């Protein structure tokens, strides 16, 4: 824990908002919404957070009854609220939309998936760390026992690769985290369209710590992150956090250049000494190898050019189409 500048916060002064992205989760929400509410009420009763703390569901353009369920929940209990994105934009944008919605009215937020995989009980330790002065609290998985061997190994490889690329990410941390209001407000200043929150939050700074938790199986439904989407997220993570791949290509280019100079000298020398033979296969090998390397290099550079293209457009990162409580955005109760 970074203990510099840490100052204890007053209990009972803190309005918490739990931000929960949901996409096609009609089978999950009826089960987990009660668990979230119970946890919120427990923390209110323990005097850790204010009575007007609440849970904000962000419907990420679901096509099933998710929004209907959220609206019903909001009618049943004032601790439930919801916003809805105009269309599906993906988990990262849904989390961002929720954080931007609450940044001015909440003192702290906790983001968590709605499928019950992340241990809801870990919020106690997270809020305690906040009360002790931390601004960012990362929920970190204590083990990956519930994962398949494949997911475990690929995840580990990904973290290794990211740290090799010089990106500062917290090992085994997904998007279960607590942020103070000032971190959310700082996050609002990062205008990038290619979002990778796990990599952005450490860049913001402030005092941080982590809380270990057990990750369970989904309570119902199935994951929205198949291998293809996981790979896309990994690629986004690397290219939005690091330009090292481009530098590696430059390095590779220099090595290839040196090798080809040696090759040219060798070819000229053998020609001069009259040893030339029909070198079809060796020529083909060299052409294929260099062609392949060039294509990969172009692809990597293209990946960055594409990102620049999207960033220069500066399109909105989320669009909210509905709210369960219309005055929510303007209110500021402190
Ligand atoms: N989610 C979302 N938009 C999407 C896909 C997923 O808001 O396009 C939400 C989903 O409802 C869940 C969280 O993001 O609360 C994590 O998704 P999921 O559980 O499918 O991923 P996994 O835990 O398998 O990585
Ligand atoms: Mg999940």
Domain ranges of the chain: 3-241+315-333
The ligand placed nearest to the CA atom of residue 25 is: 1
Q: Are 69 and 42 in contact (CB under 8 A)?
A: no
Backbone φ and ψ for 29, nearest 5 degrees, come out as: -55, -45
Name, in order, each residue with C-beta under 8 angstroms of 260's C-beta and a sequence gap of 6 or more: none
Q: Is the per-residue pLDDT at 305 higher than 60?
A: yes
Q: What is the pLDDT of residue 63?
A: 94
Question: Which residue, judged by its Cα, is nearest atom 22 of ligand 1?
Answer: 223
**How far, CA to CA in Å, does 220 sit from each of 28, 66, 112, 122, 255?**
5, 14, 16, 21, 52
> What pTM did the predictor assign?
0.80
Helical (H) or strand (E) element with 180: strand 173-180
pLDDT at 245: 82
Whether 215 shows a pLDDT value over 90: the answer reads no
How far is residue 66's CA from residue 327's CA, in Å, rounded to a whole number?
A: 22
Q: Which fold has domain 3-241+315-333?
A: Spore Coat Polysaccharide Biosynthesis Protein SpsA; Chain A (3.90.550)
Residue 2 above 60 pLDDT?
Answer: no
Q: Is 53 exposed, middle or buried (0-12, 13-18, 19+ CB in 10 A)?
A: buried
**Residue 178: closest CA among 138, 210, 206:** 138
Query: 214 CA distance to ligand 2 centroid (A)?
Result: 13
| Ligand number with the minimum distance to the CA of 111 | 1
- The number of residues making up the chain comes to 334
In 3D, which of 2, 152, 147, 101 has the Cα closest to residue 318? 101
């Amino acid at each position: 824990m970074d203990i510099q500048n840490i100052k204890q916060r007053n209990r009972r002064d803190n309005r918490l908002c739990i931000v929960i992205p949901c996409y096609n989760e009609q089978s999950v929400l009826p089960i987990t919404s009660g668990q979230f509410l119970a946890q919120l009420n427990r923390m209110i009763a323990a005097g850790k957070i204010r009575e007007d703390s609440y849970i904000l569901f962000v419907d990420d353009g679901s096509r099933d009854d998710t929004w209907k369920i959220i609206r019903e929940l909001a009618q049943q209990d004032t601790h439930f609220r919801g916003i809805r994105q105009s269309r599906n934009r993906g988990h990262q944008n849904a989390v961002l939309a929720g954080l931007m919605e609450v940044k001015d009215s909440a003192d702290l937020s906790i983001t968590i998936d709605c499928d019950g995989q992340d241990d809801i009980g870990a919020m106690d330790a997270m809020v305690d760390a906040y009360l002790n002065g931390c601004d960012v609290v990362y929920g970190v998985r204590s083990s990956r026992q519930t994962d398949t061997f494949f997911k475990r190994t690929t995840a580990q490889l990904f973290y290794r690769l990211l740290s090799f690329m010089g990106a500062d990410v917290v090992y085994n941390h997904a998007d279960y985290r607590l942020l103070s209001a000032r971190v959310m407000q700082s996050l609002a200043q990062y205008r990038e369209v290619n979002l990778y929150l796990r990599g952005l939050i450490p860049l913001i700074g402030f005092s941080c710590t982590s809380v270990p938790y057990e990750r369970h199986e989904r309570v119902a439904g199935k994951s929205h992150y198949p291998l293809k989407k996981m790979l896309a997220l990994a690629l986004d993570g690397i290219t939005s956090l690091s330009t090292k791949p481009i530098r590696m290509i430059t390095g590779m280019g220099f090595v290839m250049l040196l090798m080809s100079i040696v090759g040219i000298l060798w070819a000229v020398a053998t020609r001069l000494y009259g040893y030339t033979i029909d070198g079809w296969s060796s020529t083909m090998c060299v052409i294929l190898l260099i062609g392949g390397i060039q294509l990969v290099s172009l692809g990597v550079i293209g990946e960055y050019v594409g990102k620049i293209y999207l960033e220069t457009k500066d399109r909105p990162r989320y669009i909210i189409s509905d709210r369960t409580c219309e005055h929510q955005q303007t209110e500021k109760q402190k």
